[in-house]
Structure 1
Amino acid sequence: MDQAVPTGNLRRSRFWLYTPFVLLLLLAIAWSVAWFVIRNRTAEALDGWMAAEARAGRDWTCADRTIAGYPFRIEVICNALDLKRGAVTASFGRTEAVAQVYQPRRIITEAAGPLKVTDGTVTVQGSWDLLQASINASPSGLQRLSLTATAPKVTVTGLPAGELTGSGKRLELHVRPNPSRRAELAGDVAASVTEASIPLLDALIGGAEPTNLNADVTVTQADGFKGGTIAEELELWRQAGGRLDILMLSAAKGTRQIETKGELRLDEQHRPAGQLNVAAAGLDGLLGNLTGGRLGGNLLGMLLGQGPRANAAQPNAKPQLASLPPLRLENGFLAMGPFVIPNVKLQPLY
């Protein structure tokens, strides 16, 4: 004869059976409430930040702003993003910024083109297939900004020398405050462009091969954008004693290669000034063109070209760079060792 199961035991067994599902439901409800609280606080923080920026003279406009990303992210989307400060305006296409709710100070941004920046005189226009950036911040401010762009194209108009254009396969840019040179308000910049096409460089050096560019520099007195024209910003930087420390600047174009280190600044006439240490290979015709075939230019041109000739038997070998006399930029003139390059006169940048 079967024995009946006690009712109390049955109830307790069912309670423990359903408890995990009840707890999961309560956790989901609590997380949803928390996400909407974070979303509202994000909107309030953005409004407060934009108001503070406006008081500082930087007017941001985020067209048709939406905040999404439930359940684990916060996504801020602007159908268009514009900035105006003083005479300078900048605009992007659709821009999306994403942060994980558990890592709010690391922001991933994706922006669509076109880009347009102008101060009323000089205009920069850019486009790309994909542009992404990551921003790492701390309570004290920016720690690091990294940016990548595929198939970037840029056009600069309004320059005294005329239009400047360029394009490339891939662009990478990394910016951070220099932790050991805070008193100088220094910032480190590392940038590279692969397979760049720059008509001005083609005309200067010769050849239509794509160029690979790499730069590793430190900019002092890099205390931010003040909102003036490009000329006004450069003048403020010059007056503050700003300097460009070139740790490495290199370009490779076919068999032509150049590497540069040194320091640049602007003189009182707004011309580049400073000294560069240069090593090069394959640029034998460059100085000859600049000097009109004069003896000093031809001698230096032969020195610039000795690397590829040494590797003529090994066409795929890396060119051997020849170190050149220091390149000096002084009083509007360009000098290399004892030779002043006669056909080159440095013009004011603004």
Structure 2
Amino acid sequence: MTEHTLPTRRRLWPLFLMPALLLVAAIAWSGFWFFSVAQVDRIVDSWRAREAAAGRAYDCGDRSIAGFPFRLEVRCTDASVALTSQTAEQVASQTPVTAKLAEILVVSQIYQPSLLIAEFKGPAIFADRGQPPSLQLNWVSARSSAAGLPGPPERVSLVFEAPALDRLGGATPLPLARARHVEMHARQLEGPAGAAPRIETDFQFEGASVQDVHPLLAELFDAHLRVVLSGLKDFRPKPWPQRFRELQAAGGRIEITQARIQQGEMIATAIGALGLTPAGNVDGELQMVVAGLDKVIPKLGIDKVLEEGVSQSTLDRLAPGVRANDVNNVLGALDRAIPGLGRVVRQNANVGVAAGINALGQEATLEGRPARAVPLRFVDGAVMLGPIKVAQMKPLF
């Protein structure tokens, strides 16, 4: 007799288990994403309130959030900021400086919420205290990143490609500053527990030029500057004059650990430290090493000053303590003694000044080239290259 075995029934529920789990995970992930969207609105509104209390009122014409499922993209069009009491000139006035930006896009990955990456679309338009727009900043691309959020950021970076700053108001924009590439990186240095924070900042400029500040800056230059800032009490938003006052009261310093600038055949490096006086002026000394110093002296315009006659105000800027009458009388006496001799002295003034600075400095070598080590001093806001006053900085508060 033959036995027949009945076929066993196959269980069907394992076939539906994986799709069901995927569906539950998708629903949970969607819920988490939309919950994160709600948190973004709350965080942004809280941040705007803190900034407004510090005199920086941010607004967004249209804000939207996208990026589902793995990241958050916050897009703000027609962005604007109104700054009150951010500079020393504004302290007496509560009318804000306003800046408008075409668009800001901030991106955060769901799995890495402590890192924010932002892109900016220009131009940025600036208007001073209720006046018509006065400045315009444009660029090919601009982006930033901040790590370590939502607390004080551990690292911040800002990169511009081909930034261009123009003054508005005339028939055509007036160029003020240009660069091929600009970078800024900042990070908080580790220190003893309870110690005041120290910030290291790295600036890089390629193919840069600045107009209407000093002739030396009007020609293209490359620069790399690394500084360490100490004396910060906290990272709370506050007006710049208040920040600088706190730095001065705490004995804050700007330590320049690396600085290099190249302009044509001239190369200069510097290290040193700067501080602030009770009046808000920059004070300190940098040790500079310069190759091609003779290429810099003509750009100070000393020969033109002497050729046109020396006013006391101009001489105070170039060589404090020397009387204009004495200089003009000597040059006039040379002309009377030997006609034309005074003019020769005027035309060769730069050679004499360069020789004088070389005599004060020490021989050195910079990147394989002969160079001179010269002190660059900041005396209560005055910028002194050796004995020559080359600029005067405004107080920071």
TM-score range, shorter chain: 0.7 to 0.9
- What's the offset of the Cα at 1:170? 1.5
- What's the offset of the Cα at 1:234? 4.8
Q: 1:62 to 1:333 in 2, by over 3 A?
A: closer
SS at match of 2:369: coil
Give the aligned partner of residue 326 of structure 2: none
Task: Assess if the C-alpha contact under 8 Å between 1:327 and 1:334 holds in 2.
Answer: yes
Q: 1:164 to 1:236 in 2, by over 3 A?
A: farther
Q: What CA deviation, in whole Å up to 9, does each residue of 1:177-222 have, x standing for no partner?
A: 333387444322101012223346893378x5x4211110122344
Is structure 2 residue 289 aligned with structure 1 residue 279? yes
Amino acid at match of 2:9: N
Question: Please, which of 373, 382, 388 is the counterpart of residue 324 of structure 1?
Answer: 373
TM-score by length of 2: 0.69
Q: Which has the higher contact order (CA 8 A, sep 6+)?
A: 2
Give the aligned partner of residue 298 of structure 1: 355
Give the aligned partner of residue 200 of structure 2: 188
Give the aligned partner of residue 209 of structure 2: 197
SS at match of 2:204: strand
Superposition map of 1:232-243 within 5 A: 234=244, 237-243=247-253
- What's the offset of the Cα at 1:302? 8.9
Amino acid at match of 2:114: R
Give the aligned partner of residue 314 of structure 1: none
Q: 1:56 to 1:169 in 2, by over 3 A?
A: closer
Give the aligned partner of residue 147 of structure 2: 136
The more displaced of 247-256 and 191-200 is 191-200
Give the aligned partner of residue 214 of structure 1: 224
* Cα RMSD, aligned residues only: 3.7
1:48, 1:112 → 2: CA distance?
A: 24
- Please identify runs of 4+ aligned residues in structure 1 that moved more than 6 A: none
Q: 1:114 to 1:241 in 2, by over 3 A?
A: farther
Q: Which runs of 5+ in 1 are unaligned?
A: 312-317
- What's the offset of the Cα at 1:173? 0.9
Give the percent of matched residue pairs that are identical in Structure 1 and Structure 2: 27
Q: 1:302 to 1:288 in 2, by over 3 A?
A: farther
Task: Assess if the C-alpha contact under 8 Å between 1:287 and 1:301 holds in 2.
Answer: no
> Larger radius of gyration, structure 1 or 2?
2
1:154, 1:261 → 2: CA distance?
A: 29
- What's the offset of the Cα at 1:148? 1.3
SS at match of 1:324: strand
- What's the offset of the Cα at 1:15? 3.5
Q: Figure out how many residues of one structure are paired with residues of the other and give that number.
A: 326
1:177, 1:18 → 2: CA distance?
A: 52
- What's the offset of the Cα at 1:321? 5.7
Q: Which runs of 5+ in 2 are unaligned?
A: 85-95, 304-348
Task: Assess if the C-alpha contact under 8 Å between 2:221 and 2:263 holds in 1.
Answer: yes
Task: Assess if the C-alpha contact under 8 Å between 1:205 and 1:286 holds in 2.
Answer: no
Give the aligned partner of residue 315 of structure 1: none
Task: Assess if the C-alpha contact under 8 Å between 1:257 and 1:319 holds in 2.
Answer: no
Task: Assess if the C-alpha contact under 8 Å between 1:68 and 1:75 holds in 2.
Answer: yes
TM-score by length of 1: 0.77
